[in-house]
A = this chain, B = another copy of it.
Amino acid sequence: MAQMEVGVLGATGTVGQQFVRLLEQHPWFKLTWLAGSERSEGKRYADAAPWRLSTPIPTESADKIVQPPVPGQGPKLVFSALDAAVAGELEAAFAAAGHIIVSNARNYRMEADVPLLVPEINAEHLGLVPLQAKRGWKGSIVTNPNCSTVFLAMALAPLRQFNLRQVTVTTLQAVSGAGYPGVPSLDIIGNVVPFIGGEEEKIESETKRILGALHDKSGTSSVVPHGVTISAQTTRVPVIDGHTESISVSIDQGVTLEDVRNALMTFRGKPQEHRLPSAPCHPIVYATEPNRPQPRLDVERGNGMTVTIGRLRPCSVLGYKFIALGHNTVRGAAGAALLNAELMQAEGLL
């Protein structure tokens, strides 16, 4: 199979860098086009991007010249790591010009005709894509959720069968989730900041949409959000990579702890069925040690694509409680978008 050429919009930021890292030696996609803002345009990528990852910058990309983000230029399939401030207009312009934009930005996530995908959970939401033609776009936009949303949605998806009704979640989020320069060190060394702007709202609304069903009414597809009630408190902690989430859920009485654990451990979806290159064998791994998951020990599991869950036990208020952990810039950002693109490729949509 010939490799497909792909590009990255917003390639110099922290999420952009993860795209560049993950696309190095990808079996299906070949990264040929890196676009950045005016400040970076025309520079060598290695000079324009303040590389913050612990693996070296891929040599091939290092020497590429950063391109201006001009719709119509670059390959058909383009990943977007754009800031929300510019993603709205720019992604639409690219979609209009015929590109397929697989985006990590938040701008189109809640639009009625744009899939907000977690491939293991709601691959069928890709059925929304044809609706975008009504916008006059020759291409399309597909999105992945906010980082902390992914891990929560992944933990809840297998519990929908038990009549999932209420969820409380407190997050302990890593600083890489805020980009670069992001969180000032004076604010977070030896500290906790119990606030992340807009995060709680995103977790609550995006999760319901992801868990929702695709309905077809008189030939028009739409997503009906899941009826679960979610209440989130989000905090920032001095961790580099890995969001930890303390979750309580209310489900049907009579569902045993063993039922819940089995549902989590046996959860599979399209990525596993298609054996997508970035898909972990087990999207959820259940850690049996009493003090896990931990960011430092578990975040790299499945090359950062696995969600690790542990400490499942009864919650005297809601029903069950547990801890979930995921890699926020891989499964929660660039890796999520990459898996979306792989899914589209496997389903013949590219």
Interface residues of A (CB under 8 A from B): 14, 51-56, 166-168, 170, 172, 175-176, 180-195, 204, 229-231, 233, 235, 237-240, 242, 244, 246, 248, 290-297, 299-301, 310-311, 315-318, 321, 323
Sample of 5 A–B contacts (CB below 8 Å): A54-B297, A172-B172, A188-B189, A190-B296, A191-B294
A52 CB, min distance to chain B CBs, angstroms: 6
A295 and B190 within 8 A (CB): yes
Using CB atoms, name the residue of chain B closest to A167: B317
A296 to B187, CA, bound (A): 8
A343 to B261, CA, bound (A): 49
A245 CB, min distance to chain B CBs, angstroms: 9
A180 and B188 within 8 A (CB): no
Using CB atoms, name the residue of chain B closest to A250: B317
B238 and A323 within 8 A (CB): no
With a CB–CB cut-off of 8 A, which chain B residues contact A293?
194
A186 and B176 within 8 A (CB): yes
A304 CB, min distance to chain B CBs, angstroms: 11
B239 and A191 within 8 A (CB): yes
A313 CB, min distance to chain B CBs, angstroms: 9
With a CB–CB cut-off of 8 A, which chain B residues contact A54?
296-297, 299-300
A186 and B240 within 8 A (CB): yes
A317 and B231 within 8 A (CB): yes
With a CB–CB cut-off of 8 A, which chain B residues contact A231?
248, 315-318, 321
